Structure 1
Amino acid sequence: MLAALRQRKDSWKRISAQRLRLGFVNGIEWLIRDPSETVIGRTPFEPILSRGKLVVRRYRGAEGSRHRTPVLLIPPLMVKPFIFDLHEGRSLVRHLLDAGYPVYLVDFGEPERADAYVTLDDYVLDWLPAACDAVCADTRSEGLSLLGYCMGGLFALSHTAANEDERVRNIVAIAAPVDTHKMGAFAWIAKHGGAQVEAMAGLLGNVPGAVSSRAFKLLAPVRNVTRYADLFLNLYDQEYVNGFDAMNAWTSQFIDYPAGAFQQFLREFMRHNRLYEGNLRFGERVADLGRVRASLLLFAGETDKVVPEAAVRGALEKVGSEDKTLHVVPGGHMGVFAGSQAPERVWRVTSDWLATRSGG
């Protein structure tokens, strides 16, 4: 028995020495690497629709898919769409392709100063319907599934409700705050200072991406320090380093938020909670979630301080579908979507859930 213990101790010494060597090499490479060279969004695609800044991507591998119903990915505003395709080991796009789905993504582009007038009506009444039309035409399908993260999930629900789009068979919404009055500090700020923030946005124009990035990082100031300690302890693991760089690229490359859309979101969603209350208007149309009949899959993060479970759960109460499910899984606001446990706890659950609702 003593011999076995000594052997195990020697093995751990060899492993520790190997990790130390790998950590040293990876650490040097990480320190001298240009952050802008982080490889993200590498899955090949081609555009099937280009109209101004709006682009609908078809990812290669979508031909010959096992499932007939295509999946359209919808990103939130402020972030670049590469969040769906972070790197080789952390790509929801690649996961869905490998699971046999035709995968598409709507890219709203990067707003410029001239886009300050853009409102949520443009997204919900124009660009999303155009994207759905393009996907259905490209696949010759009569239906599709929508998958959105955060505000992308709200877009999926709002489009389906306001446009009464019966082509939408399934909706997957990850960390989507339908009941915004359950968003803790954000709800308090919107209630007591929302009008002032809205007025300021009208004066300044688009909300700069750099401001959004700093604000997001301030939500977890301690974590923004400890994550570098975690990186140091895991430098031997190249997969961990790749994931760190990809997530860092996400939070460092926020894009501008159109002033009109920001004001409308702050007023209609955050202050008045109109989507949850059933009186949210886009133009002359009302987004009544009770009219949504698509199957609904929701995910909330156990430690999400931005969109807590209660805010996500509002969709269960309001969406009219009889087929609706909520999963509460490990992770914060980013982790629930693309953290280390997301591939197993969120992506696999999603692809399995869609499989019984997508034909093929």
Structure 2
Amino acid sequence: MDLIPKPDQIVSAAANVAHKMLYGGLADLRPMPRTLIDEGTLREVYHYRPRGTVREHGDPVLLVTPLAAPALCFDLRRGCSVVEHFVTAGRPTYLVEYGEVSFANRNLGMEHWVDEVVPTAIREVSAHAGGRPVHVVGWSLGGIFALLTAADQPDLPIASLTTVGAPVDVTQVPMVAPIRPFLGLAGERAGLVTQAYRLLGGAPKPLVRRAFQLTSFNKLVTKPIAIAAKLDDADFLAQVEAVDRFTANMIAYPGRTFGQLYHRILKGNQLASGTVTMDDREISLADLRAPLLAFGGASDGIAPVGSVQPIVDLATGAAELRFEVVPGGHLGMLTGRAARSTTWRILDEWIAGHATPEVPVRPQSGKATRKAPAPKRSADAIGSNPARRYGSASSRSLAAKK
């Protein structure tokens, strides 16, 4: 609002406050409808169902969530949902998420995601979409896992790979750079961080949530002022509500994975060297063969442009490489209000430019053609059995919200 509000601004602000008080909020937080098509240990793969009369066409997109963050990052709210954007356009849209991480998962390392979760999701999505190659889109650590998977298994059916805010050189992260020289002083076994995550079995949800909030400390402090100044902007207020819900739903890190990320990525900065150590091998980013699109956020405090851009010099084997700087912070660049006309537009162009050519089926001349009957699907086929529609706790919760 202006310093001296105009009459129409006062009316809009009053209406927004009344709506929030009466209905609990301004944001449309309904999740996009989806169906579980595959599941395993900390792996749930979903297919988002087409809307109305929209028919799916083209290659599928697989959205890869990071650890600790909920899948809400891709389906934040109606109007600011990457999922809604793709589904409305008729793009076959899928997502892999990990469910609740518990103490029982403390022994799972990075290998679980790079060897099992992400590659299995890619294969399942390709099969579900009729054998078409998959456009993989990973945000934050999801982008790192997708990068390592694609570099390690170049035979996967990947049409293209996109990373959004995936930090490669952690020395360029403002919150990490000043403390990196001290991370190894106590020794790997004696370090307080090492002992803490082993005792807790990982990084608990409250700690993860607080860490995410602190990365945007300035916004956290000025948030009440910003809300007061924009009480007449319903879309801004709705976005604040949606981001608050996202932050409140952070998930824990498994203990061993957290330890590997701490020692190899944070302390060792292995990604910046171009090679990451797994239990039984090393993965080189130079072995990536798929076309790669990498996004950096202009105001990203978690993965600033300087930490993302080194991928350009490391992924030397990529069939094509494109780097883009877009407006927004770590979450905003993916699903902020400006992302509609920046990140999403570029992503649409990228996917269209790397689409699998459609091969029309032409009937033989002079012969009549008859449409083959649709094959019968067994009750056990994924997606055809109503009992599997909400086959997991997180998926069943969607049914209750509809």
After TM superposition, the score normalised by the length of structure 2 is 0.80
Q: 1:114 to 1:284 in 2, by over 3 A?
A: same
Quick check: 1:144–1:170 contact (8 Å CA) kept in 2? yes
Structure 2 CA distance for aligned equivalents of residues 226 and 192 of structure 1: 31
> How many residues are aligned here?
345
Match of 1:164 among 154, 167, 173: 154
SS of the residue corresponding to residue 76 of structure 2 reads: strand
The correspondence for 2:176, drawn from 159, 169, 186, is: 186
Segments of 5+ residues of structure 1 without an aligned counterpart are 1-11
Partner of 1:9: none
**How many angstroms apart in 1 are the aligned matches of 2:342 and 2:40?**
36
Give 2:299's match in structure 1, choosing from 292, 297, 303: 303
| Partner residue, 1:59 | 48
Matched letter for residue 37 of structure 2: I
State the shift of 1:33 in Å: 5.9
- Give, in angstroms, the shift of residue 76 of structure 1: 0.9
Of stretches 219-228 and 326-335 in structure 1, the one that deviates more from structure 2 is 219-228
Match of 1:89 in 2: 79
- Deviating more after overlay: 210-219 vs 21-30: 21-30
Q: How does 1:1-360 map to 2 (within 5 A)?
A: 16-30=6-20, 40=29, 42-61=31-50, 64-67=55-58, 69-193=59-183, 195=188, 196=191, 197-319=193-315, 320-359=317-356, 360=358
Structure 2 contact 154–290 (Cα < 8 Å) conserved: no
Aligned partners of 1:98 and 1:34: how far apart in 2?
27
User: 1:38–1:191: structure 2 CA closer, same or farther, 3 Å change rule?
Assistant: farther
Shift in Å, 1:191 = 4.1
Determine which structure has the larger helix proportion and give its number. Answer: 1
Match of 1:8 in 2: none
State the alpha-carbon separation in 2 of the partners of residues 34 and 190 from structure 1: 43
For 2:131 and 2:286, locate their aligned partners in 1 and report how far apart those are by CA, in whole Å.
25
User: Which secondary structure does the structure 2 equivalent of 1:169 belong to?
Assistant: strand
Shift of residue 117, structure 1, vs aligned partner: 1.5
Letter in 2 for 1:178: V
Once the two structures are superposed, residues 141-189 of structure 1 have per-residue CA deviations (whole angstroms, 9 ceiling, x without a partner) of: 2421110111011011011112234422211101101222322331443
Q: Which stretch of structure 1 is more off in the superposition, 151-160 or 194-203?
A: 194-203
How far did residue 52 of structure 1 move?
4.1
Does structure 2 retain, via aligned residues, the 8 Å contact 1:207–1:259?
yes
Superposed CA offset, 1:38-83 (max 9, x none): 753511110110224421000011983231x211101111111011
Identity value in percent: 28
| Cα gap change, 1:185 to 1:222, in 2 (>3 Å) | closer
Distance 2:281 2:60 in 1: 26
Rounded to whole Å, the distance in 1 between the matches of 2:38 and 2:203 is: 27
Superposition misfits of 4+ residues, deviation over 6 angstroms: none
Question: Residues of 2 paired with 1:191 and 1:164: CA distance?
Answer: 35
In the TM superposition, residue 31 of structure 1 has moved relative to its aligned partner by: 5.0
CA contact (8 A) 2:165 2:330 kept: yes
Tell me if structure 2 keeps the 8 A contact 1:125–1:282: no
| CA distance 1:209–1:31, change in 2 (3 Å) | farther
Q: Compute the displacement of 1:228 (Å).
A: 2.4
What amino acid does structure 1 have at the position aligned with 2:330?
Answer: H
Partners of 1:331 and 1:325 in 2: how far apart? 19
